[in-house]
Amino acid sequence: MIGVRRVVVTGLGAITPLGNTVATYWDGLKGGVSGLGPITLSATPEQLTQKVVAEIKDYDPLKHFEERELATLDRVSQIAVIAAREAIANSRLSFDMTLSVRTACIIGCGVGGMMTLDETYRRVYLEHKKRVFPLSIPRLMVNAPASQISMHCGIRGPTYVIASACASATHAIGTAFHMVRSGAVDCAVTGGSEACLTFGTIRGWEAMRVMAPEVCRPFSIGREGMMIGEGAAVLVLEPLERAQARGAEILGEIVGFGMSADAGDLTAPDVGGMSRAIEGALIDAGLKPQDIQYINAHGTGTTANDETETKALHQVFGEHAQKLAVSSTKSMVGHALGAAGALEMVATMMAISHGIAPPTIGYQGPDPACDLDYVPNKARAMTIEAAMSNSFAFGGLNAVLAAKKFS
């Protein structure tokens, strides 16, 4: 069983500030639509300095779950299950017992059930209630999104959450990719989920002093910072042979995964750490820098990230860096933190399969420190044979995936 297998993507699912399915998400991305908007999920938003975030819209939990089920599901798990259901339906897999025990569910999540935590704290500290909701603990535990996907979708193989802040989902997808490639499992349902747009979380991000007031314009002159968001995205991964044997539609191939740690500053990005993760993904994929056409950047919109990521791309790609199309879809969906890498990997797979690089919106002109082609404001039709998706987290944790068009 153990060997090196080709790993293909056969299902995608997403629920994002741009749309609650992959199709609507992709329509928004290629249309250059902004998913940012006023804060509605937080209690007392009028007390917040920040007025804009990227929330999922038109979402009614009762259209997806029964009331009884919702007692056990924080928003972060609800959206994880919704994205997983879409990805699994898209793959046309059914998890009989033979496949179920051989399928992994590896999900990235930064902070777990913050909505439940926030509600619970308000109740005990603000309202001085004596009791909290009985299922508060299993709702808010950080592994809940993976556990709930396993329970709702019938997945019985290795199942856990990876938490590495803004790189969580990329670490999760990369780990799942390696598990499928090695033969440790025969299928993986993998991605990320985050839903932490509570009063306390937004206050926390305000205190970091890194958020843009209204518009997120990564790599652009005049950028003012990042925009926090939420969302979930899931990919179904299978070995090529298995996918072909069952006649599955193959949406692309995951070929490489690189990881590194900066061992330096807690929050400041590091060219060396970023470069090593990008190079690691290329080496793992057996690709040369000039094989890559598109990069879905980490591109948070902060001064420090965008400059440092640009330097890292120069370092790894040399002269080829100028030929890359590099875009930040965070300009449209905000930074979904622990889910960001999954939203971005879905965007990358769609970009490869449709031959369209999604844009960086809000772009006003070049910053001298950011001198690459950032696909400003309008999507671009182009051949994408191979692409990468970057994620770089607080704590100096970096993860990068490489994917190819299937042929």
> Which residues contact other proteins (rule: CB under 8 A)?
49, 207-213, 223-225, 265-268, 301-303
Nearest residue (CB) to other proteins, 222 versus 286: 222
Task: Exactly one of 171, 196, 335, 370 is catalytic; name it.
Answer: 335
Residue 37: strand, helix, or coil: strand
Task: Exactly one of 196, 216, 298, 370 is catalytic; name it.
Answer: 298
Residue with tokens 């994917």: 403
Distances (CA, A) of 246 to 141, 207, 240: 36, 52, 10
Task: Look up 335 and say whether it is catalytic.
Answer: yes
Smallest distance, Å, CB 303 to other proteins?
5
Task: Look up 216 and say whether it is catalytic.
Answer: no
Nearest residue (CB) to other proteins, 214 versus 241: 214
Task: Exactly one of 105, 153, 166, 216 is catalytic; name it.
Answer: 166
DSSP of 187-242, one letter per residue? EEEEEEEE---SHHHHHHHHHHT-B-SS---TTBTT---B-BB-EEEEEEEEEHHH
Please report, for the chain, how many H helices and E strands are present, in that order.
Answer: 14, 14
Smallest distance, Å, CB 13 to other proteins?
33
Q: Side chain identity at 257, as an amino acid letter?
A: F
Nearest residue (CB) to other proteins, 32 versus 301: 301
Smallest distance, Å, CB 203 to other proteins?
12
Nearest alpha-carbon partner for 20 in 53, 73, 64:
64
Smallest distance, Å, CB 137 to other proteins?
31
Smallest distance, Å, CB 207 to other proteins?
6
Nearest residue (CB) to other proteins, 63 versus 209: 209
Taking the C-alpha atoms of residue 159 and residue 149, their distance in angstroms, rounded to an integer, is 9
Q: For the stretch 2-21, what's the b/e string if a residue is b when 16 or more beta carbons lie within 10 angstroms of its beta carbon? A: eeebbbbbbbbbbbbbbbbb
Question: By CB neighbour count within 10 A (0-12 exposed, 13-18 middle, 19+ buried), where does 377 fall?
Answer: middle
Task: Look up 64 and say whether it is catalytic.
Answer: no
Nearest alpha-carbon partner for 173 in 353, 13, 30:
13
Nearest residue (CB) to other proteins, 116 versus 201: 201
Residue numbers annotated as active site = 166, 298, 335
